[in-house]
Amino acid sequence: KNQVEQSPQSLIILEGKNCTLQCNYTVSPFSNLRWYKQDTGRGPVSLTIMTFSENTKSNGRYTATLDADTKQSSLHITASQLSDSASYICVVSLVYGGSQGNLIFGKGTKLSVKP
């Protein structure tokens, strides 16, 4: 079954610190991997999209990496800010979608940045 697993479930860090969120997937055939940020009470917003041929992609202080061989991705946040407090969702896209559609969603990592 196609699955996306994220770790940790939740994370608390101090403002200004860096952190790394993990994503492992068992999705085939794989098309691309996305990281979304979801603020409380809001819909997910896309941070990065990587195809299987891309190893890294940055969006400001957010850097995503992808290892298609080991089926692992990470999202690194540099110099965290209070506004980074949110859930971060790893989403893998299938080449051909079944009843799940094209996107397989992880459960998310809830990040809390404290002053």
Site residues, other proteins (CB under 8 A): 4, 31-32, 34, 41-46, 49, 51, 89, 93-97, 99-108
Please, which residues bridge with residue 98 across strands? 101
Q: Cα separation of 108 and 44, whole Å?
A: 11
Closest contact distance (angstroms) between CB of 110 and other proteins is: 11
Nearer to other proteins, 20 or 51 (CB): 51
Closest contact distance (angstroms) between CB of 62 and other proteins is: 14
Q: Which two tokens stand for residue 32?
A: 């691309």
Closest contact distance (angstroms) between CB of 3 and other proteins is: 9
